[in-house]
Chain A
Amino acid sequence: MTGQATDRALRGRVTQEVAEVIATRRVGAYQHITLVAPGVAELARPGQFIALAVGGESSGTLLRRSFSIHRVSPSGTYGGTVEIVVSAVGAGTRWIVDRVPHDTIDVVGPLGKAFPLPTEPVACVLVGGGYGSAPLFWLAGELRERGCHVEMVLGAASEDRLFGVVEARRSCDGVTVTTDDGSAGHRGWVSDVLPDIIDRTNAGVVYGCGPMGMLESITRVAEAHGAVAQVAVEESMACGIGVCMTCVMPVVGSDGRTRMVRSCVEGPVFRGDRVRWDAFDGGHARVPDDCVGAPKVGGH
């Protein structure tokens, strides 16, 4: 066994470790942070995420914050490292982006299911909205190793909210950029440019990571153009490890029945056509009436 992952971590494919911040830098509107977390680095696959504790051992902020793994280096100079890209939106993420080198953060991971990889070298389109592109470069590398033609679409509200345009040009066979305000690339949404890219490359799989609305439209476009969508969702999570049932969403199983499934363990990557997009509405997800165990009329 290499690295410092314990036996239990290997058996459980998950570990908890106190990670040292060794680098942190501003990239547009985001903070790109590198952590020494050899256990996570050794076990992780693209599409998985980590959950960071906020504010130290006696912090009144109890719930962990989840971040897609941008990249891992299992055997760096400092031991294995894990990188994340953080958008500071509230108190927890602000605390995280304020960490300086040599500070420590308690990390649990890797969590959730990774992006499934195609068995044949089919063309793939990777679509990232804002920091949603973070896990896609690593994925692109793995796909190209398998002989897949890989194109990337990066979309954001404005240029400073794009992440990784330069890296995308280096790691993919083609890159298209869109911004809502036209400050970079095409003015508009990723769904405006996606149909042509799928058709031109004859793509078999579209991978997506970003806001829910974007994932829904990627799924629609992929379906209409004969590709399978694999999307990584972002739901509010209290535990990230499958014990609390807060992160659920309605998803159709292989038996054709809808269940409220935990996006932290059964996701965050789902086949887009399995997600019950019809149940989502402005930050809420309803329990569809045909869901297994749905409340009957007049309560349970």
Chain B
Amino acid sequence: MVDLSVDLGGGHRLPNPLMTASGCAANGKELHRFFDVSDLGAFVTKSVMADPRSGRGTPRMAETASGMLNSIGLQGPGIEAFVDEDLPWLQSVGARVMPSIAGSSSTEYAHVAATLRASRAFDAVVGVEVNISCPNVANRGLVFACDPMASAKVIALVREQLPRDIPVFAKLSPDVTDITAIAAACVKAGAEGLTMINTLLGMVIDTDLMRPQLGGVTGGLSGPGIRPVAVRAIWQVRQAMFEGRIPTVPIIGVGGVRTGRDALEMVAAGASAIQVGTVVFNDPSAPVRVLRELCELLEAKGYDRFTDAVAVAHGR
């Protein structure tokens, strides 16, 4: 039997490296109808902001080759409802939770993190993922994740709010010229890990109506079609860690994972954990299926420990 456990920081040893992806699993109850969410290494929740948000109008999706575009606009109940209802529920079923937090200003991120920390179910939290792919109102709506300074500021403020044994993961956008520069800024600012990648900005035009198909005009591209971009991003950042340009921290790989093979590909590129997002829409129990397939593959390849396979493709 392969040892699948992994430590992503803070001394929280996860039983396995499989996670949900933020925004592709809601906050647990819906998927718990298909599999036990405590079977996952961690459950990553939908990015939550300070206040309730309606999100954008519809249509909010367009199907693409091996994927989809979405323009949800971070619909959510706000952090108060999250800590009152969602987090305690996840704790009650024994899930290890990685809440994803968002904001439209660095102080909003800090406020959300502080509210989370003060909550009664905080014991269930094994890490916090910071979704920095949000428009920064203070900078004409430029996404934080596209600016190393803005990203670093958000991470530093969030880091201050959380206890040391809770690792902070910065979730990076692939829509940048040099992802290693943003990664370096986030780690320097205190991130103990990186999640890669968020969606790519895309657009579809409805040629019957000759207008943009999404109500929000542009949207985030996800699904198996973007997997090579995710593998590349993980590879580049891991390479920069090997070269000493970025301190070595764990990377959580996400983007188009559909099978155990896809997960293994990301692991070989440098990921220490894997999230399954859009593929859940195709197969609601995909996260546990991918885990099973990954385990079988590792076993077939003769690995005793999952962690031995991390980043092995480098230097080969």
By the criterion of a CB under 8 Å from any partner CB, how many residues of chain B are at the interface?
48
Size bracket, chain A contacts? 35 or more
Name the residue of chain B whose CB is nearest to the CB of A288: B54
Given contacts A62-B224, A259-B54, A294-B54, contact A243 B280 (CB under 8 A): yes
B60: chain A residues within 8 A (beta carbon): 236, 245-246, 248
Q: Mark B259-275, 1 if CB is under 8 A from A, else 0.
A: 00000000000000000
Q: Say whether B282 contacts A62, CB under 8 Å.
A: yes
Min Cβ gap A237→B in Å is: 8
Closest to A300 in B: B104
Give residues of chain A (127-141) contacting chain B, Cβ–Cβ below 8 Å.
none
- Look across to chain B and name the residue whose beta carbon is closest to the beta carbon of A12: B33
Q: Do residues B57 and A287 form an inter-chain contact, with CB atoms below 8 A?
A: yes
Instruction: State whether A12 touches B280 (Cβ < 8 A).
Output: no
The yes or no answer to A293 lying at the interface (CB within 8 A) is yes
Q: Please give the distance in Å from A260's CB to the nearest CB on chain B.
A: 5
Interface pair B281/A63, CB less than 8 Å apart: yes
CB neighbours of A292 from chain B (8 A): 52, 54
Decide: A13 and B33 in contact? CB cutoff 8 A: yes
Contact between A265 and B57, CB atoms less than 8 A apart = no
Return 21 A-B CB contacts under 8 Å, by A number.
Answer: A8-B33, A11-B33, A12-B32, A16-B283, A60-B66, A60-B224, A60-B225, A62-B278, A108-B284, A238-B61, A239-B284, A242-B26, A243-B25, A243-B31, A246-B58, A259-B54, A260-B75, A287-B56, A293-B54, A293-B78, A299-B137
Q: Chain A CB within 10 Å — which of B24, B32, B57, B72 has the most? A: B57
Q: Which of A39-63 contact B (CB under 8 A)?
A: 53, 60-63
A287-B31 Cα distance, complex, nearest whole Å? 27
On chain B, the residues within 8 Å of A284 by CB distance are 57-59, 215
Count: A-B pairs, CB below 8 Å: 131
- A11 nearest CB neighbor, chain B only: B33
A43 to B169, CA, bound (A): 41
Q: Are A236 and B54 in contact (CB under 8 A)?
A: no
Contacts of A62 in B (CB 8 A): 63, 66-68, 223-224, 278-279, 281-282
CB of B210 within 8 Å of the partner chain: no
**Proximity bits, A270-295, B CB within 8 Å = 1, else 0:** 00000000010001111100011111
Shortest beta-carbon distance from B312 to chain A in Å? 25
Q: Of the candidates A8, A246, A249, which one forms a contact with B61 in the assembled complex, judged by CB atoms under 8 Å apart?
A: A246
Inter-subunit contact A236/B59 (CB<8 Å): yes
List which B28-51 residues lie within 8 A (CB) of chain A.
Answer: 30-35, 46, 51
Interface residue? A235 (CB, 8 A): yes
The reply to whether A238 and B281 contact each other, CB–CB distance below 8 Å, is yes
Interface check A241, CB cutoff 8 A: yes
- Min CB–CB distance A205 → chain B (angstroms): 28
A23 interfacial contact with B, CB 8 Å: no
In the bound complex, how far is the Cα of B278 from the Cα of A64, in angstroms? 12
A14 in the interface (beta carbon within 8 A): yes
Is B91 an interface residue, CB under 8 A from the partner? no
Q: Is B161 an interface residue (CB 8 A)?
A: no
B30 and A242: CB pair below 8 A?
Answer: yes
Q: Check B180 for interface membership: any CB of A closer than 8 A.
A: no
| CB-based contact A287/B55 at 8 Å | yes
Is B163 an interface residue, CB under 8 A from the partner? no
In the assembled complex, which residues on chain B have CB atoms less than 8 Å from the CB atom of A236? Answer: 58-61
Name which residue of chain B comes closest to A13, CB basis.
B33
A226 to B34, CA, bound (A): 42
Partner of A285, one of B34, B58, B61, B282: B58
Q: Which residues of chain B come closer than 8 Å to A249, judged between CB atoms?
A: 58
For the complex of A and B, 3 pairs with smallest distance between CB atoms? A12-B33, A293-B52, A293-B54
Q: Which residues of B contact A27 (CB under 8 A)?
A: none
Q: Given A60-B65, A243-B24, check contact A287 B54 (CB 8 Å).
A: yes
CB distance from A54 to the nearest CB of B (A): 9
How far does the alpha carbon of A247 sit from the alpha carbon of B104 in the complex, in Å? 24
- Distance between Cα atoms of A300 and B66 in the complex (Å): 32
- Whether B70 is near chain A, meaning CB under 8 Å from some CB there, is yes
- B104 proximity list for chain A (CB < 8 A): 299-300
A287 contacts which chain B residues (CB < 8 A)? 54-57
| Of the residues A64, A108, A244, A260, contact of B54 by C-beta under 8 Å | A260
Would A241 and B30 be within 8 Å (CB), given that A62-B63, A62-B66, A260-B75 are in contact?
A: yes
Chain A's closest residue to B278 (CB) is A62
CA distance A12 to B31 in the complex (A): 9
Interface string of A10-34 (1 = CB under 8 A from B): 0111101000000000000000000
**Closest-CB distance, A110 to chain B (whole angstroms):** 12
CA distance A221 to B224 in the complex (A): 46
- Cβ of B5 within 8 Å of any chain A Cβ, yes or no, is no
Q: How far is the CA of A8 from the CA of B36 in the complex (A)?
A: 9
